Structure 1
Amino acid sequence: MKKGLNPILDENTEVLILGSFPGEKSLQKRQYYADPNNDFWKLIGNVTGKNFEKMNYDTRVEKLKENGIGLWDVYESVERRGSSDSEIKTGKVNDFSVLENCPNLNLICFNGKKATSKYEREDFQFELETKTLLSSSGANRKHGEERREQWESALSKHIN
């Protein structure tokens, strides 16, 4: 079983972005969205007006928190070869009761349909607004402008 990353959350988190499970590069570096082929940091930069791509990881995390953005995944651990969600054989879902410590949380965004479908198959529901965003995966660049606009529309009214 591969173990995921700890959540990036605090009492000021207003928006939580949930992926399905970190890719291999992220697991190796113990950093969310560590694969340079993933456009997550570019998309967040478009929303916040900050150049996240030029920041080191600790600064990225600090700036996310300053903007009320949290990160986590649907799965805590999985059995999977490689990085592809389609290779997930079994998995343990994260304990989302920790979200009770985020009193300002008002939106959960799923980073792609795969994260949403994994959430929908599990036996839990959020008592918050949820949205599915086009995946930040580099393989999804064909929807670049639509994806950028969707992320900005969903997140801009919620960030600090």
Structure 2
Amino acid sequence: MTQKAAFPPSIAPDARLLILGSLPGERSLAAGQYYAHPTNAFWWLMGEVTGEALPALPYDERLLRLIAHGIGLWDVIATARREGSLDTAIRDATNRDLAGFAATLSDLAAIAFNGGEAARRGRQQLVGIDRYTLIDLPSSSAAHAGMTRAAKREEWMVLRHWISPRQPS
């Protein structure tokens, strides 16, 4: 099994919402981009949440648009061994210091978990901390095929409550 390392956070100090995945998949790691696999619905879902055409933008601009809405991205796992991209294949994971990181963000109001593995690991790290609203979301991955994009969209739209108003480009 190959050792994988996650990306640094993409976030501004005044973020209100932090979205956490588990560990980037093979395509994302190869591209050096969050949610790079073309079948992953993340950028489409976030476009729906923010009201912007995020999938049509270059990657760096997508990140800037999320930051403009007070949204940050990170992963709950720092490193792990894994063959392929499935969360079920994760072994020997080292978790991030999620509680310590979140404590540095004074405006942070909500933490959303993209998928079950992110929610399980993230919630374990935040036990006893009631400062944030914790939101479990269905995975944006195409591997989570038991739910349609429309059904995922319906659940992801709750994030609108925590985003900043649209700012001019």
User: Is the TM value for this pair above 0.5?
Assistant: yes
1:12-34 deviation line (CA, Å, top 9, x unaligned) = 21111111110011111111000
Q: Residue 151 of structure 1 aligns with which residue?
A: 156
1:140 has 2:128 as partner: no
- Between 1:20-29 and 1:143-152, the stretch displaced more is 143-152
Shift of residue 134, structure 1, vs aligned partner: 1.0
Shift of residue 113, structure 1, vs aligned partner: 1.4
- Between 1:76-85 and 1:134-143, the stretch displaced more is 134-143
- Partners of 2:83 and 2:135 lie apart in 1 by 28
- Between 1:27-36 and 1:124-133, the stretch displaced more is 124-133
Q: Residue 114 of structure 1 aligns with which residue?
A: 117
- Partners of 1:123 and 1:151 lie apart in 2 by 22
Can you give the 5+ residue segments of structure 2 that lack an aligned partner in the other structure?
Answer: 165-169
Q: Does the aligned pair in 2 maintain the 1:9–1:102 contact within 8 Å? A: no
Once the two structures are aligned, what percentage of the paired residues are identical?
Answer: 37
- Between 1:133-142 and 1:11-20, the stretch displaced more is 133-142
Can you give the 5+ residue segments of structure 1 that lack an aligned partner in the other structure?
Answer: none
1:63-117 deviation line (CA, Å, top 9, x unaligned) = 0000011111110010111111111111111122122331110000000112112
- How high is the TM-score relative to the length of structure 1? 0.92
Shift of residue 123, structure 1, vs aligned partner: 4.8
Q: Does the aligned pair in 2 maintain the 1:75–1:93 contact within 8 Å? A: yes
SS in 2 for 1:71: strand
- Between 1:132-141 and 1:87-96, the stretch displaced more is 132-141
Aligned Cα root-mean-square deviation (Å): 1.5
Shift of residue 124, structure 1, vs aligned partner: 4.4
Q: Residue 40 of structure 1 aligns with which residue?
A: 42
Shift of residue 129, structure 1, vs aligned partner: 1.3
- How high is the TM-score relative to the length of structure 2? 0.87
